[in-house]
Chains A and B, each alone.
Chain A
Amino acid sequence: MQATPANAAGLRVDEKLERMKLFGLSSPALLLVLIILVIPVGWLFFVSFLGGDGQFSLENYQRMVARKSYMRIFRTTFEVSVITTGLCILIGYPLAYFLSQVPPRIANLCMITVLLPFWTSLLVRTYAWLVLLQKQGLINDWAIGLGLWDEPIKMVHNMTGTLIGMVHIMLPFLILPVYGSMKAIDRDYVKAAANLGASPRRAFWDVFFPLTMPGLFAGTLMVFILCLGFFVTPAVLGGGKVIMVSMKIVSNIELFVSWGAASALGVVLLGLTFAILWVASRFLKLDQIAGGGH
C-alpha cells in the first residue's frame, strides 16, 4: 500500500508527536536534576558575585587572587590530584594488565579485590587507614618489630596519609576502564607483532599499549576530576595540614558563614572541572567515560 503525500505528512507528524511523548518520559528526571542541582548551584553562582553590602561586586574573586592562602589551597589541590592520579596509573595499569592476561577464571577471582574496596564505604576505608597509619598503629608496630625503623613515624594527619588514602580510594576508578579497554583488544594483534619478529617488549609498547590509551585516558580523567573536588579523605587523613578547595569551602560555611567566599571558590572549582571535561571531550566521547567508570 502506497501512502499518499497527505498521508505521509500526517504520519510524520504522528511520529514526531510519538517521539516527543517518549522523550517526555525523562521529564521527572530532568525536573529532579533541575530543582535539586541546577537551581542551588545557579544560586551559588549568583551569590559569588555579591559583595558584603549585597551589591554586585567581584570582591570574592579578587580576594581569591590577592590572598596567598587561597593560591596555596589551589596549589595543594592540584598537587594532591596530580600525584594521586600519577600513582594510580603507576599502580593500577600493571594490575589491570595482569588481570587481562591471566585466564578468565583467575581474573574473575582477582577482580573481587578491586570490586570489594570499590563497593565499600569511603568513610570505612578512610577510617581503616587512619587506624593503620597512626603512631601506635599496625604499620608502625610491624615496621619497628621488623627493624625497618626505630621510632614511630608520623604517617597520618599529613600529606603522606592523605595520598595513601586517596590512591587507595581512586584505584578502582582507574583499573576498571583500563581493564575494560585491555579486554577489548584482539589478541591476534599481539600475536601478529610477535610473528613479524617483535620482541615481547616491543609488541607491548608498539601494539598493546597504544590500544589501551582510550581506557587509560578515561580512567585518568575520572580520577583527576574526582580528586579535584574530594573532601572526606583529605579532611580526615590530612589532619588540617592538607587543605584542599573543597575543605576551604566547607570551613567558609561552617566556621565563618561566609557564603560569598564559599560560593566563589565553588564556582572556580566547578569551572575548572568543566573546563577539563570540555578539553577531554574533544578527544573522547564523554558518555564513554561515564560508561567506563562503572
Chain B
Amino acid sequence: MFAWLKKPACETQITHGQRLWLYVLAVIIMVLLVTPTLIVIPMSFSDSQYLEFPPRVWSLRWYEHYVTSPEWMLATWTSLKAAFLTMLVATPVGVLAAYGLHASQVRFVRATFLFLITPMMVPLVLVAIGVFYVYAQIGILYTLFGLVLAHSILALPLVVIVIGSALKSYDMSQENAARSLGAPRWKAFVTITLPQIRFAVVTAALLAFLTSFDEVVVAMFVSGGDNPTLTRNMFNALRDQIDPTIAAISTIMICVTTFMMVLAQIFGQQRAQKD
C-alpha cells in the first residue's frame, strides 16, 4: 500500500516519501484557499442572527430577506445591468484595439499597448475619486451610463491582453489569403479571423462581465442614488455590522462566478482540443 512512497517522484533520485512534506503542505494550502469562501454557503442557511457553522436550525430567512428587500433587489438589478453593458462596451472596443495593434505593426504598438493596460496599474482609489469629480462636473454621477464607462476602462486591459495573446498564435496569412481572393478586410476579419479566436472573445467577455460585477471601489463613489450596485451596498453593510443577509448574497455571487468559471473552462477546453 505504501510502496509508491519508495518510487521516484521526478527526474532526480528523490522519492515520493521524501516529498511527502510537499504534498501535505500543498493540501493544507489548497484547503486554506478554498474553504473560507465555501464555508459561507452552509452558514447562509442558518436561522440564527449569529452566523453558525454547522447551523443548528436551517432556514431560508436570509434569502427571503434578500429577495423581499427592494433596496437589495434594486442593487442586484443595477449590478447585472452594469456588468452586461460593460461587457457589451469593453469587448468590441478591446477586440478592435487588439486587432488593430496586432495587424498594423507600427512602431508605437508597444507603447500603445502599455497605455491601454494602464488602468490595471493605476490604483483603483485614484481612478474612483478622479472619475467621481469629473462625473460630478458633467452631471453623470450616479448614472448607469457613467458607471458602465468607468467599468469599461477597467475591463479593457483584460480584453486587450486575452485577445492579443490569442492573435499572437493565430496565422494572419489566412486573412491575407481571403483578401487576395477579393474579400474586403472587414469581411476577411469577420469570416476568417473572428471564428478562430471566438473562444478568446468569449473568455474576454466573461472577464469583462465579472470585472464590473465584482468591482467595489469605483462603484462606491460613482454608483448610488437610483443606481447603487450590489457591491456598494454590501460594502456599506459590512462597515456597520455582520448582517447575515450578506452571507445569502455571497452564496448567490459564488454560484454566479462558479457558473461563469465553468463556462470559461468549457470554452477553454474546446480551444485546447481544437489546437
Which residues of A approach B to under 8 Å, CB–CB? Answer: 19-20, 22-26, 28-30, 32-33, 35-37, 39-41, 43-44, 91, 94-95, 97-99, 101, 110, 113-117, 119-132, 134, 136, 138, 168, 171, 187-188, 190-191, 193-194, 198-200, 203-204, 225, 228-229, 231-232, 235-236, 246, 249-250, 253, 259, 262-263, 266, 269-270, 273-274, 277, 286-287, 290-291, 293-294
Contact = CB atoms under 8 A, between A and B. Distances in A.
Nearest to A204: B12
B129 A294 contact: no
Contact of A249 (B126, B157, B250): B126
Nearest to A19: B104
A37 B127 contact: yes
Interface string B139-152: 00000000001101
Contact of B160 (A29, A113, A132): A29
B146 to A, nearest CB: 9
Contact of A116 (B149, B150, B153, B258): B258
B253 A124 contact: yes
A126 B152 CA distance: 24
Q: Which of B33, B121, B261 has the most CB of A within 10 A?
A: B33
B192 to A, nearest CB: 16
B142 to A, nearest CB: 15
Contacts of B132: 253
Interface string B29-47: 1101110110110010000
Contact of B96 (A25, A129, A203, A204): A25
Given A23-B106, A121-B231, A294-B162, A128 B39 contact: yes
Given A25-B99, A36-B150, A98-B23, A113 B33 contact: yes
A32 B149 contact: yes
Interface in B237-260: 238-239, 242, 246-247, 250, 253-254, 257-258, 260
B171 interface: no
B12 A194 contact: yes
Nearest to A229: B123
B205 to A, nearest CB: 14
A277 B131 CA distance: 24
B123 A270 contact: yes
A128 B126 contact: no
A253 B220 CA distance: 12
Given A229-B124, A287-B113, A39 B134 contact: yes
Contacts of B51: 131
Contacts of B214: 121-123
Interface of B: 9-14, 18-19, 22-23, 25-26, 29-30, 32-34, 36-37, 39-40, 43, 50-51, 53, 93-94, 96-97, 99-101, 103-106, 109-110, 112-127, 129-134, 149-150, 152-153, 156-158, 160-162, 165, 207, 210, 213-214, 216-217, 221, 231, 234-235, 238-239, 242, 246-247, 250, 253-254, 257-258, 260-261
A95 B109 CA distance: 36
Contacts of A36: 131, 149-150, 152-153
Contacts of B23: 98
B234 A101 contact: no
